Structure 1
Amino acid sequence: MGPGVKQSRSASTEQHIKDIQKRPLVATIIMIAGLALLVLSMGISISLGAADIDLQTVWNALLHFNPDLTQHQIIQELRMPRALGAGLVGAFLAVSGAIMQGMTRNPLASPSIMGVTDGAAFAIAIAFAFFPHTSSLQLMLFSFAGAGLGACLVFGIGSVSRGGLTPVKLALAGAAVGAFLSAISSAIAIRFDVAQDISFWFAGGLAGTRWLSIQLIVPVALIGLALAIILSRSITVLSLGDDVAKGLGQRTRLVKVLGTVVVLLLTGAAVSVAGTVGFIGLIIPHITRFLVGVDYRWIIPCSAILGGLLLVLADIGARMVNPPFETPVGAITTMIGVPFFLYLARREGRGL
């Protein structure tokens, strides 16, 4: 390696370290404004549906619930868990994508592209086919295991390819593994006559979210998001590269193992509630880095808020496209995410 290349990499690393210190004020504004918009959008989400309910009624149902009023029952039992589920699932997927991109230094990494969500959906298909009386908690455990299977297959295939891991090769391996697992899931659904049961998870949606689902994923949210924030500084250092991280005393293997556990927890929980909702984990981390810089102590909480906001808005859009019928929310996020993915793939492909 010539001195010019070393100097170039050194200058790039120094610039990266300087960027880490940037824009804490912007991040604070995004978190405050993002939370306000998230609460407002959740209120709008609760008010919209087959029976439109004004925001004043929503507010009254929250503060002064009257079980004798049908509108209050609709808000409490159907729409509130749906809105909360959208916010949590969006946050889970966005944080998972941010961690994956930081750990692998791969701008194309996300749960949907790296085979994690398809692996979780595959495990859910197996649960419906072979264990028809699976509880919600057991379904979530199946989802965790499937997410791990998908991730292992993608990274295993990417590692044995000639030239080692590159962003585009990982994306291609993820697409291949995802298509393979999705095809097997469809075959299982047809063979064991459970296609109608698992079609929800393939399409992605939040219509079936109930309080039981929220109660199950809240502990995962507390554990997974807390671990993500604890690891945020280490992921920032890791994003500088393994050599730099080790030189700074980073225990890179431990950080990667813990980061992978967080991704599997959050993605598995998200898929168990909303199915295969794609591209939030790809889009949001890029937007967040553009706004707040490359310090993951800001990227992770901001990604959580913006990811929740995006999915709540996408869920609102899914109900407005063809009322009174619902469009799968996964279709809405895919329409947004595919052009973004093609742009990133084209940009990264120039470096091969």
Structure 2
Amino acid sequence: MSQLNTIQKALYLPFDRDSWSKLRNSVPLTLAEADLAELRGINERVSLDEVTDIYLPLSRLLNLIIKNQQQRSVVLNQFLGQQSAGSPYIISIAGSVAVGKSTTARILQALLSHWPEHPRVDLITTDGFLYPLDELKKRNLLDRKGFPESYDTKLLVDFISAIKSGEEEVDAPLYSHIIYDRMPEVLKVRQPDILILEGLNVLQTELDSPKRRFVSDFVDFSIYVDADEDNLRQWYVDRFLQFRESAFADPRSYFKHFADLSDEQATSMATEIWDSINGPNLTQNILPTRERAHLVLKKGAHHSMEQVLLRK
């Protein structure tokens, strides 16, 4: 088990993989290998064993917490003498580029939707809340894409606030990694039982404006997917190399000029992007939010989860 820093020791209960897996408590596995193949991201190696050892105990924990909150809402409504549909339970998933946040979010969505108490689980990524490409160019933020200032924070907070207040239908902007831009279409979110919000910035706060609301103010349970930066850099490079044969090869791709790069050229380009954009964003903005999470999932060199830290 990796060494905990002083803050983590004070805030979290640490579990190695074996001790965490015992907390599954016979929760059945509801995914098959074919299901998992559809949920994996590029360059991800999540196995059914990992789902069993890591995600099933987490699914059980979240179900217990959500049931408790649902019961509390019933009691509060009885006390106030009113009926209310209640508000969705919001789970956020944060972490670096290339750490596997999207795969974690998709697996949790699939598992949580099998619990009878909350069958409707929606998943939204914050990519759709990035400023449109033309606006990023106008603000000279193209090389800062993914940094806090590249997001339409007001739009994101308005969205999550409307979801939390129980509005019947809320529009979520969609994003295409092919065209590298927000899409004209929107996703209609209609009062889910649970909303999973995945993105780089979901644990960040507006430090320069403490009176301003931010996403984390509306989140009920937060998860941070963690890994050492050397691993993250390598995973990003590996993913970039694979993108040459998939996303970059699409004629609509914003990055189609990368499709013909040699291995050496692609590795050099990916490393440069990491060192100039993704690495600095991680150390300056993303990693400092880790200790705000209710739960940290720590990955080892081969993408597998090695440690779980649960907030006391």
TM over 0.5: no
Q: What TM-score does the superposition give when structure 2 sets the normalisation length?
A: 0.27
Q: What TM-score does the superposition give when structure 1 sets the normalisation length?
A: 0.25
Query: By percentage of residues, which structure has more strand?
Result: 2
Query: By percentage of residues, which structure has more helix?
Result: 1
Flag the structure with more relative contact order, 1 or 2, with Cα contacts below 8 A and sequence separation at least 6. Answer: 1
